[in-house]
Chain A
Amino acid sequence: MSKNIIIKPLIAISLFLFIISCSKSDPVPVHEQEAFTLVTLEVTKVGSTETIRYDFEVEGHDHGHDHGHEEEEEEEDDHDDHEGEHTEIELEANSIYNVSILFYNDEDPLKIINITEEIIKEADLHQVFYDITNELSGSGFSIESATNDTSDSSGNPLLLKTIWTTSGEISGDVVGYLFHKPTSKTGTTRSDFGGAIDIEIEFEVHVE
């Protein structure tokens, strides 16, 4: 008798559990809108109206759709070279260029988010930095803040808009960083800035 008293609720409870458990709906897809999936360098020679865009895309991103950008970089399955993506930026000698760096999330091609605006909004928490290898800087290649660049509350330029100056013919590597919560806004190499790396893009500059 007591067995029945117990067993019946047990059966009922277990049935109940199985019923609720089986009605689970499909999870919704998550789009990481906060994540950087695309970084673009827009390079314009002073005096010219032609702007060349160089795109750097995150790995693990879908390339199956046409997003209208120029595809300058190599495909992502480039594992022999441990720098991964390898973009070459062609510049003319003894020239000045206006260069903008732009950050996007284009995971949802119908809803491309320009994260650059957010970085401007949180200027104090971010810093762009270009680390130029010695062969380039030795030949007179330099990157400086442009007059229309964004500055943070302490007046430090973020280097979102820069002026690139070339002199002699040379090739060399540049690493572009976006730091999040840097401890210093100025420095000559990555470790001077502290914080965490949000973006690390690497490209070769060809001055011809």
Chain B
Amino acid sequence: MSLFQNIPYLQESKLPKCKCSKCNKLSKTVVSLSMLATSFCFSQKCDLVLEGKVLDLHDSSPIEAALIEVVDGNEAILSDANGKFVFENQCSGKINLKISHLNCEDIYTSVNLNKSISRMFYLEHHIELLKEVILDESKTKKLSTTAPSYALTDLQKDQYSVRGLAKALEQISGINTISSGNVISKPLIHGMFGSRVGIIYDGIPIENQQWGQDHAPNIDQNAFDEISLIKGAGVLKYSGDTPGGVVVLETKIPKIKDSLYGKTILNGFSNGRGLNIISSWTKSFQSGKYFRVQGTLKRVGDFEAPDYVLSNSGNDENNFSFTLGQNKILSQWKTNFSYFSQEIGILRSAHVGNVYDLVIGIESDIPTIINPLSHQIIFPKQVNRHYTGSIQYSKRRESSGKWNVKYSWQRNNRKEYDIRRGEYKNQSAVDLTLDTHNLTTNYKWGGSIWSFDSGAFLQVQDNYSNPSTGIKRFIPDYIKARFEGYFTTSFSPSNHFNLGFGIRYSHHNNEVKKYYHYNRWRQENYEGSLGGFVIGDFAGQKLIGQRLIFNNLSMSSGVKYVIQPDLNLSLNIFHTERAPDIAEIFSDGLHHSLATIEYGNPFLKTETVQKLVLNFEKVSGKFRFNFSPYLTQGQNYIIIEPNGIEYTIRGAFPVWEYRSVSSLIQGFDLDLSLQLGKNLKLSNNSSWIEGYEKGSRTPLISIPPLSTTSQIQFSPARWKSFVMALSNKYFSRQNQYPNHNFETSVVENGNRVTKLVDISSPPKGYNLLGLEFHFGPYPLFSNKISLSLIFENLLNTSYRDYLNRLRFYADEMGRNIMLQIKIQH
């Protein structure tokens, strides 16, 4: 599994550093040495011939330039282009050999040479330069052999090192960000987000996505070397319930040699007056042992829109991770611990009392509360902590099979602080803790034509909602047990043709304990449907204990065909079944940011989605393109929508309830690039998408508008190590949206007036200009240093983003100037 995690994709910027010709091609090359005594000889004679061949374990291809030394002797020889070597005139007896290969771990072995023998030896090529590996070969190690995967280059990844995972991924076409304010954001892939998008870090699915839209993935992307994604459920190895896509974050396994290396990134930025430092260090040893530490510190004050301060929009982060492991010839182990801690201010003006306040917020062009710029985070705010511990072991068996087992634990804790009164003033309003234990095991086998991967996944999850908040639980307490099993296979008869198939079964068993207030119970007539589950009755509330079982089967299949050496065509079909989240079934509470009461729907069923993605790609030459249309249809597709208004002594509140519909989502992503001479590159990425409820043709909510990003990249020949880029992002207005506007009657200046609560109309389209200068890397003592100067929203444009839930209250961020210093140690 660890191998899978360390595969970068499409990292074209990196050139092979490896000097031995074969290691470029082979991911985990295992050098096999076969030895043959070619003639029968008398033992006492010194005329024996030792002939051997160095081969790759995976595909039996010969390995050139492996050094074979006779220990205690003076002989040394290199294997030839066919991997062969010959020692002549050897005496009978024990011969000690040392076999080494650049970037490979040395192997010591001995041969008793007294007659003709034939023996196999296994060596593990050191896992290095996986990038090249992926580009050329290793069909078995890609996220998918048939579905295209998209990776962030180091430059793209580092450039967004302060902005969070979703913003970094947004650079890939078809990926948008759905957010609540400036910091809380999640990736939206082809119109889907949350639990429909899997985020896999180090082989572990992140688990706090099920808490609803206000919950961003608690992850520091800077702790990982590679970030890649598949737009679709292409990675059944990790998850079967993510029709939107799968984001995979991975760390590289260090070289087997004594070394100490690291990377430090320092970011300073004007908007938010923020500072961010990221540093990671790896120490590896000849024995294969290594350890790695990584940390991130971030301090950001209030962001600024072009015309005002976005009061209380700052955020702080402290993250730390530690890894200890060992790579050996036939086995690997690794333990990891990581801690993520984040405090996010929620826009002060977005905390409203009821619908009248919401109306005032919507009607006002500027936020109703603007305070002087500050680095202090006040209420309302969110505090997130995320802990992960994992232990992993893998072992290679036979010639190509590899078995892997991993246990991981993660704890997600999230506290939401509202503006409260009296003794509850400093008490969080939401305090959720989710503990998840995962046990996964898998076995991979096969050769260059057929390859297989099969595994099992066991999960136990415990969600605890702290009652001392003094506010009824938004998400009830529950225990979830999950058992899943998968099988994937790939058939690659030639370099021009790939066929892939996968299947994943999952069994969910949720035990939920939830309080219903009498009023809701009566209003929804739950006595008839849920009455049998009542296990307690307390002043005004009924406690139900319900066991919910889901059995789901997801499948994916795809074909990839190379029409011409530079033209690929692939077609992938995914069928996914997703059990509804506990939040979708049982959520119950008030969102102060939208003055909305949210209710789950206890009768939701498994959501099924079919997605078809076609990909037509030209991968080399001056002009390149990637055209990818897709079609998604869903049954029991779960959405949340306004459904009436509740009146209380606190005023009126719109009620949002989950329901399921039949849906249809279609769109395309188009990436174009044109290299003009050596210095100039033009590129454009565009995405179009639309989503409807089938039948009524009502548009789905939160579907991104048409967007197109154009970039001119210039790297003058005279100045090495300098790149500048000018880019323009255009987002149109979303004209297809469900209209959930409603009217409310209020008294204003003594007159009764009817106000339209316009919570639906999308904001107008906008252009964002960006300018980047990248210098380096330059040598600095024994390090390498790079500098970047980045201007975001260069023209200081005021705009609002349809996919930001707090768009009613304030503009997005204005101009930002960021200086980034990157040192590679």
A-side residues, CB < 8 A to B, are 2, 6, 10, 13-14, 17-18, 21-22, 24, 26-39, 56-62, 64, 76-79, 82-85, 107-110, 115, 118, 121-122, 125, 131-134, 137, 173, 175, 179-181, 183, 188-191, 194-202
Contacts and interface: CB of A to CB of B under 8 A. Distances in A.
Contacts of A64: 518, 540
A6 B442 CA distance: 13
A4 B282 CA distance: 34
Contact of A125 (B421, B536, B540, B651): B421
B15 interface: no
B422 interface: yes
30 contacts: A6-B405, A10-B441, A17-B439, A17-B460, A21-B460, A27-B465, A30-B467, A34-B471, A57-B649, A58-B648, A59-B649, A60-B648, A61-B519, A76-B647, A78-B647, A82-B744, A85-B647, A118-B422, A131-B750, A133-B751, A180-B421, A189-B748, A190-B356, A191-B360, A197-B353, A197-B354, A200-B353, A200-B354, A200-B650, A201-B649
Contacts of A118: 421-422
B649 A36 contact: yes
B650 A199 contact: yes
B94 to A, nearest CB: 28
Contacts of B163: none
A191 B421 contact: no
Contacts of B543: 26-27, 29
B750 A132 contact: yes
Nearest to B545: A26
Contacts of A194: 368-369
Instruction: Pick from A57, A83, A122 the residue with the most CB of B within 10 Å.
Output: A83
Contacts of B70: none
Interface in B644-692: 644-652
Contacts of B155: none
Given A32-B472, A82-B745, A198 B479 contact: no
Given A27-B543, A82-B645, A109-B539, A58 B360 contact: no
Interface in B541-595: 541, 543, 545
A62 B356 contact: no
Interface string B504-534: 0000000101010111100100000000000
Contacts of B651: 197, 199-200
A116 B21 CA distance: 81
A82 B472 contact: no
A37 B352 CA distance: 19
Contact of B353 (A30, A61, A180): A180
Contacts of A179: 353
Given A37-B649, A115-B422, A200-B651, 4 more contacts: A30-B515, A31-B539, A33-B470, A194-B368
B356 A59 contact: no
B350 to A, nearest CB: 11
Instruction: Pick from B465, B467, B750 the residue with the most CB of A within 10 Å.
Output: B750
B351 to A, nearest CB: 6
Interface in B402-445: 405, 407, 419-424, 437, 439, 441
A133 B752 contact: yes
A146 to B, nearest CB: 22
A29 B481 contact: no
B647 A62 contact: no
Contacts of B520: 60
B357 A196 contact: yes
B8 interface: no
Contacts of A78: 647
Given A17-B437, A34-B420, A198-B353, A29 B541 contact: yes
A131 B266 CA distance: 54
Given A10-B441, A30-B473, A133-B750, A59 B646 contact: yes
Chain A interface helix/strand/loop/mixed: loop
4 closest Cβ pairs, A-B complex: A84-B647, A197-B353, A200-B651, A62-B540
Interface string B462-475: 10010101111100
Contacts of A56: 649
Contact of A13 (B368, B407, B476, B540): B407
Contacts of A35: 471
Contacts, number: 191
A183 B369 contact: yes
B746 interface: yes
A24 B469 contact: no
Interface in B450-492: 458, 460, 462, 465, 467, 469-473, 476-477, 479, 481
A179 to B, nearest CB: 8
B471 to A, nearest CB: 6
Contacts of A132: 750
B749 interface: yes
B439 to A, nearest CB: 6
A175 B747 contact: yes
A4 to B, nearest CB: 13
Contacts of B393: 6
Contacts of A61: 517, 519, 540
B719 interface: no
Contacts of B517: 60-62
A200 B649 contact: yes
A118 B62 CA distance: 82
Given A59-B519, A125-B421, A190-B360, A29 B479 contact: no
A30 B421 contact: no
B395 A2 contact: yes
Interface in B707-752: 744-752
Contacts of B352: 196-197
Contacts of A134: 750-751
B781 interface: no
A27 B420 contact: no
A57 B647 CA distance: 10
Instruction: Pick from B354, B471, B647 the residue with the most CB of A within 10 Å.
Output: B647
Contacts of A180: 353, 419, 421
B77 interface: no
Nearest to A192: B749
A59 B648 contact: yes
B704 to A, nearest CB: 31
A83 B458 CA distance: 52
Contact of A173 (B469, B471, B646, B752): B752
